[in-house]
A = this chain, B = another copy of it.
Amino acid sequence: MSESPQNKKYIAFVLYPGLTPLDLVGPLQVLNARGPEYFATVVGETIEPMETDTPLRLMPQMTFDDLLDPAIIVVPGGGIPTYRAMANTKIRDWLVNAASTAEVVASVCTGALILAAAGLLEGRQATTHWAHWKTLERLGAHYNKKRWVEDGKFITAAGVSAGIDMALYLTGRMAGVEMAKGTQLALEYDPEMPFGRIEWDKVDRNALDAELQSILPQVWADRPDLLARVQQP
Set of chain B residues within 8 Å of A42, measured between Cβ atoms = 55-56
Nearest B residue (CB) for A188: B159
Q: How far is the CB of A8 from chain B (nearest CB, A)?
A: 12
Residues in A152-193 with C-beta less than 8 Å from chain B: 158-162, 164-165, 168-169, 172, 177, 180-181, 184-193
A229 at the interface (CB under 8 A from B): no
Set of chain B residues within 8 Å of A190, measured between Cβ atoms = 147, 161, 193, 197-198, 200
A203 at the interface (CB under 8 A from B): yes
Q: Are A193 and B188 in contact (CB under 8 A)?
A: no
Q: Most B CB atoms within 10 A — which of A24, A49, A129, A190?
A: A190
Q: Are A161 and B188 in contact (CB under 8 A)?
A: yes
**A-B pairs with the 5 shortest C-beta distances?**
A159-B188, A169-B194, A57-B59, A22-B29, A190-B198
Could you list 19 further interchain pairs (A-B, Cβ under 8 angstroms) beyond the known A24-B56, A57-B61? A13-B56, A21-B25, A42-B55, A55-B61, A147-B190, A147-B192, A159-B186, A159-B187, A161-B189, A168-B193, A168-B194, A172-B195, A180-B194, A181-B195, A181-B198, A184-B193, A188-B198, A189-B193, A190-B200
A-B contact pairs, 6 of them (CB 8 A): A22-B187, A24-B56, A29-B160, A32-B55, A42-B55, A159-B186
